[in-house]
Amino acid sequence: MMIGMPQSEEKLAEFYMTKFEKAKTIRQSFEDTFDDCYEFAMPMRETFKSKTVGERKDEKIFDETAVVGVQEFASRLQQGLVPNFARWADFTAGSEVPKEERDEINNELDEVTEYVFEILQNSNFSQEVHESFMDLAIGTGILHVSEGDAINPVSFSAIPLPHVVLDVGPDDKIDHVYRERSVRYSELPILFPDAVFDGELANAMQSNPDVKTKVLEVVCKNYNKPNEDAFFCVIIETAHKKVLKTEDLSGNGANPYICFRWSKCSGEVYGRGPLMNALSAIKTTNLTVQYILENAAMSIAGIYQMDDDGVINPDTINLVPGTVIPKAPNSMGLQPIRQAGSMDFGNFILSDMRNNIKKALYNDMLGNPDRTPASATEIAERMADLSRRIGSAFGRLQAEMVQPVLQRVVYILKKQGRIELPTLNGRQVKVRSVSPLAQSQSNADITAIARWLELIQARFGPEITNLLINAEETAAHLAKKFGVPDVLIRDIAERKQLVEMAQRMAQQTMQQSMQQPQMQEGIPNEQAN
């Protein structure tokens, strides 16, 4: 337990329940906007107002551009940042490791990387991260990473934003995660086998086992350990203010909640995503299509007028082919009303608004990300376009999502005794992204190096180029930029051995070439003797 926290269980429960309510009040200012995004772009997902399971909530959707666009946004981002069945990051030796030892360590880390990604590919990571990327379109995605079973050591779960309340610390980083769940009283001993159930809570569990109660889980940063990645976890049954579990979490990757934001305004806790930027266009498009459909219905069915002669009952008229409508002699009967105009202008509005929505969700780029690309060039062009447009968001996602996911997975695998790895993202071991988006950003450096080499070669010739450029280091540097695995590159010792071997062979060849003329000069002398 952190220093300064209440010592009694009841006081501790009250302390965090009060902090939870304050943080929840801050979230309420965002909820209306979030609900609008859910209503018009993700109608099947749980909102802050509606939590009915199985409820149909797409009756107000008249245009599916945003609904489809969010799916494509999540797929495109997943393909560029954490693609399925691919290595999108490497563990490499950090700056603290001596240069002469890095090649050997990198080879060992390459094996660890292969094992970690084998675990990821066999887990439910790809499914859950896609769900969290859909929430990221609104602004904030949340992943819960926990220990799995013997077959799948790591388990992922995308937590809907309505289930979580966030708060930030003095460094403007998320330092409190509150998750409130409803569970049955009978499930409490299963979920928390080490908890002590007594008093009024024990009576409620015995008398109403199928009744649900609220459980609040809090994971917060432990500022009593400023030089460590330390967290404090407390789980509370709120109805009876009963602390079910407390736990100190320490180590890089100890926090089970990974919260990542698309962009953030200063002073705000929650992120702002591309869907929020496109919300006005989405509402306009939806309303326009609604009007067009209503106008189309009037054009098909028509609008009629009639004399109230007591013969024609409009409530019993069904305007279908073959209908016979009785009328009184000399009566006008049903007369169609000519419409004032058409809704052709709606198509112009739709075209612009739909394009704006696609731009906001980055769906107006090259090709379809779900089909097999025509060539590697098309992939590179698509990723380069995406990288240029989400440059700032890419950096935030690297820091708040990519690295924490790997840190958490390594933390769990080390805890289970499956791997041995020094501190991640430090001076000993660092995470290097090799995803398609990261590669597209490295292409600028590769292009600059290639242009420089061409300029030196053309201006000064091969002799000066060979004197100036360290060919070994240049090739190794370009290999890293291209994301080539370290196991495919010879280490320093092997390269040194090959150089020495080549030098010896060159010396032997030179000696043999010098001895041949001498031997040829000695042959006539021997023949003369």
Among residues 383, 484, 369, which one has the least CA distance to residue 440? 383
The whole-angstrom separation of Cα 214 and Cα 237 is 6
Query: Is 172 a domain residue?
Result: yes
Phi, psi dihedrals of residue 244, rounded to the nearest 5°:
-90, -30
CB atoms within 10 A of CB 364: 15
Question: What is the tens place of the pLDDT at every residue in 358-386?
Answer: 988 988 764 555 555 555 566 666 666 76
Residue 415, domain member (yes or no): yes
Torsion of CA 514, 517, 520, 524, to 10 degrees: -130
CA distances from 130 to 4, 120, 135, 397 (A): 40, 14, 9, 14
| C-beta separation of 290 from 62 below 8 A | yes
Residues 6+ apart with CB under 8 A from 94: 426, 427, 428, 429, 430
For residue 255, what are the contacts with CB-CB under 8 A and spacing of at least 6? Answer: 177, 219, 229, 231, 249, 404, 408
The C-alpha atoms of residue 188 and residue 111 are separated, in whole angstroms, by 41
In-domain check, residue 152 = yes
Cα angle value 316/318/324 (rounded, 5°): 90
Structure tokens at 459: 């201006």
Query: Is position 10 within any domain?
Result: yes
- The secondary structure element, H or E, covering residue 249 is strand 242-250
User: Could you tell me which residues come within 8 angstroms of residue 241 by beta carbon, excluding any fewer than 6 positions away?
Assistant: 9, 10, 13, 14, 17
Alpha carbons 265 and 283: distance in angstroms, whole number: 23
463-512 per-position pLDDT tens digit: 777 777 877 777 777 777 776 766 677 766 777 777 778 778 878 887 77
- Is 507 contained in some domain? no
Q: What is the strand order of the sheet 230-237 is part of?
A: 164-168, 174-184, 212-221, 230-237, 242-250
What is the separation of C-alpha 176 from the centre of its chain, rounded to a whole number of angstroms? 20
pLDDT score recorded for residue 487: 65
The pLDDT tens digits of the residues spanning 500-517 come to 787 788 788 877 777 766
Number of H helices, E strands in the chain: 15, 12
Residue 393: CB atoms within 10 Å: 20
Does residue 323 sit within a domain? no
Residue 511 makes CB contacts below 8 A (sequence gap 6+) with none
Question: Where do we find the tokens 């010592």?
Answer: 7
Q: How many domains does the chain have?
A: 1
User: pTM for this structure?
Assistant: 0.79
83: containing domain:
1-52+60-176+187-192+216-303+347-434
The H or E element containing residue 212 is strand 212-221
| CA proximity to 2, closest of 247, 342, 368, 209 | 247
Cα 375 to Cα 74, 381, 382: the distances in Å are 22, 10, 11
491 located within any domain: no
| Tokens 């928390």, residue located | 192
Q: What is the pLDDT along the chain (529 residues), one digit of tens a residue?
A: 555 566 678 899 999 999 999 999 999 999 999 999 999 999 888 888 766 666 677 778 899 999 999 999 999 899 889 998 888 998 888 777 777 777 778 888 888 999 999 999 999 999 999 999 999 999 999 999 999 888 899 999 999 999 999 999 888 889 999 999 999 999 999 999 989 898 899 999 999 999 999 999 999 999 888 888 899 999 999 999 999 999 999 988 999 999 999 998 888 999 999 999 999 999 999 988 888 887 777 777 776 666 666 666 777 777 666 666 676 666 666 666 665 555 566 677 788 889 899 988 988 764 555 555 555 566 666 666 767 777 778 889 999 999 999 999 999 999 999 988 766 555 678 888 888 777 776 666 777 788 888 888 888 887 777 777 877 777 777 777 776 766 677 766 777 777 778 778 878 887 777 776 656 565 555 454 4
Q: Is residue 467 part of a domain?
A: no
The CA distances from residue 204 to 3, 64, 80, 191, in Å, are: 33, 47, 50, 17
Q: At what angle do helices 99-122 and 403-415 cross, to 10 degrees?
A: 90
* Longest alpha-carbon distance in the chain: 150
Strand-pair partners of 166: 177
pLDDT (0 to 100) of residue 425: 56
Tokens representing 491?
A: 């280490």
